[in-house]
Amino acid sequence: MKLLVKNIRSLVGVEYMSKLRLQGRQMAELNTIDNAWLLVEDGRFAQFGSVEDGMPLLEGIDEIVDAEGGMVFPSWCDSHTHIVFAGSREREFVDKINGLSYEEIARRGGGILNSADLLHQTSEEELYSQAMRRLDEVIHKGTGCIEIKSGYGLNLEDELKMLRVIKRMKETSRAKIVSTFLGAHAVARGMSQDEYVSLVVDEMIPEVGRQQLADFVDVFCDRGFFTSKDTTRILEAAAKWGMRPKIHADELASSGGVEVGAKHGALSVDHLESMTEEEIEILRGTDTMPTVLPGTSFFLNMPYGKARKMIDAGLGVAVASDYNPGSTPSGDMKFVVSLACIKLRLQPNEAINAATLNGAYAMGVSAEYGSIAKGKVANFFITHPVPSVDFIPYAYTTPIVKKVVLAGEME
């Protein structure tokens, strides 16, 4: 199957020598080809070039798509979401407007525990259909690669239920999905912290491991949730089953999560709203991708992560949506890219790399996704006509996605 996309004003995010991630100054490098064409073969990028240098032979091409002067971007790679959840939590949204903080709501037994109660009463089928609706929504906003966490089950049965839903989504969607076991998202009702951590370590992890339901493990390592000591126990147990960490760190306070994560070879440490300068130093020279979630800062009115400082210090940074019912009820990656520019002070090129190639790295899939490079999976979107790349984050509420192609097929 050969598909040709013609009339592309700019082909953005092109790589000739694929890199697994971009760090420091490299993050500003975003190759583009103007007046371009793109050839996809059997679901992968096969060739591309500018019209001036000659079009490919039309012989053997099965389908031609006219980009009509729009741009082509690699799909967004959203490396941190919680899109499998039941219902919504707009009551807490109003509580927050009335002055309660995210932490106060959690302390009063709301927050994650509310979502867990609701998920408990929701059938696996219904959970799947709600999550697929969210996935469909973000796919049409340009996301082609997404990480999804468990963490609203908080008991063995319901955590497995969530992970089975993610597994079914992997099997039915053309989007690339990776799954993360986040049993340690909150302490379940009626249990002590130690009892719950033991349940995660002794029962949940071995069962998730045996059934091979998770690619990664996560812990909400933060003030009022899990300590670095709890986190260490959980990461050590998960390592025995080959689950690499991607952890929640420093959202509410500098929590030691960055250090524990780096020590255990985390693929990413995420949130980082309260990160310190010392923690930036800890990440230097590691394989860990710091991942900032500006939508969470926006929605909770909290400080923004120090992405600018990290890039200036030579680190790579990813941005992700954190789509979840409590702290970020949105998976709009274009808005995340705008926030990365407006609030994190990233240049548009840096923000786009943070939301594509570096996001793919933070899911362990950047050899196959995250840029337009020969041999990579053909996940991309075609925009409506836009005047420049910088227009995308600048026009922060203008919809830009016109057509979406995943694994070489039109969505």
**Which stretches of the chain bind ligand NIG, using CB under 6 A?**
82, 111-112, 115, 220, 248, 251, 296, 322, 324-327
**Least distance from ligand NIG to the Cβ atom of residue 201, Å:** 20
**Least distance from ligand NIG to the Cβ atom of residue 223, Å:** 11
Cβ nearer to ligand NIG, comparing 335 with 381: 335
Token pair for 110: 């709301």
**Least distance from Fe ion to the Cβ atom of residue 105, Å:** 16
**Least distance from ligand NIG to the Cβ atom of residue 78, Å:** 13
Q: Is residue 250 part of the contact set for Fe ion (CB under 5 A)?
A: no
State phi, psi for 267 to the nearest 5 degrees.
Answer: -75, -35
Cβ nearer to Fe ion, comparing 159 with 322: 322
Partner interacting with residue 115 (select from Fe ion, ligand NIG, none; CB below 5-8 Å by kind): ligand NIG
H-type helices in 38-155, by residue range?
90-97, 102-107, 112-120, 124-139
Measured CA to CA, the distance from residue 154 to residue 187 in angstroms comes to: 7
Length of the chain: 411
Name residues whose C-beta falls within 8 Å of residue 170's C-beta, 6 or more positions apart in sequence. Answer: 177, 179
**Least distance from Fe ion to the Cβ atom of residue 152, Å:** 11
> What are the C-alpha distances in Å from 396 to residues 17, 180, 332, 336, 385?
31, 30, 11, 9, 15
Q: Which residue has the tokens 């996001």?
A: 359
Measured CA to CA, the distance from residue 370 to residue 144 in angstroms comes to: 9
Cβ nearer to ligand NIG, comparing 37 with 220: 220
Cβ nearer to ligand NIG, comparing 38 with 127: 127
Count of CB atoms situated within 10 Å of the CB of 409:
14
* Residue 114 identity: N
Cβ nearer to ligand NIG, comparing 147 with 215: 147
Cα 369 from chain centroid (whole Å)? 13
Measured CA to CA, the distance from residue 324 to residue 337 in angstroms comes to: 18
Q: Which residue has the tokens 């001036």?
A: 52
Cα 372 from chain centroid (whole Å)? 18
**CB-nearest residue to ligand NIG:** 326
Q: Taking the CA atoms of 70, 71, 75 and 76 in sequence, report the sign of the dihedral they define.
A: negative
Stretch binding Fe ion (CB under 5 A), from 52-60, 164-172, 318-326, 399-407: 318-326
Cβ nearer to ligand NIG, comparing 327 with 356: 327
**Least distance from Fe ion to the Cβ atom of residue 369, Å:** 21
Q: Is residue 322 part of the contact set for Fe ion (CB under 5 A)?
A: yes
> What are the C-alpha distances in Å from 372 to residues 34, 39, 118, 297?
14, 11, 41, 30
State phi, psi for 281 to the nearest 5 degrees.
Answer: -60, -40
Cβ nearer to ligand NIG, comparing 143 with 327: 327
**Least distance from ligand NIG to the Cβ atom of residue 185, Å:** 6
**Least distance from ligand NIG to the Cβ atom of residue 89, Å:** 7
Token pair for 389: 């790349």
Cβ nearer to ligand NIG, comparing 246 with 334: 246
**Least distance from Fe ion to the Cβ atom of residue 255, Å:** 14
Q: Is residue 218 part of the contact set for Fe ion (CB under 5 A)?
A: no
Partner interacting with residue 296 (select from Fe ion, ligand NIG, none; CB below 5-8 Å by kind): ligand NIG
Cβ nearer to Fe ion, comparing 15 with 322: 322
Name residues whose C-beta falls within 8 Å of residue 317's C-beta, 6 or more positions apart in sequence. Answer: 27, 289, 290, 291, 292, 307, 310, 311, 346, 350, 354, 358
Instruction: Give the footprint of Fe ion on this chain (CB under 5 A).
Output: 322
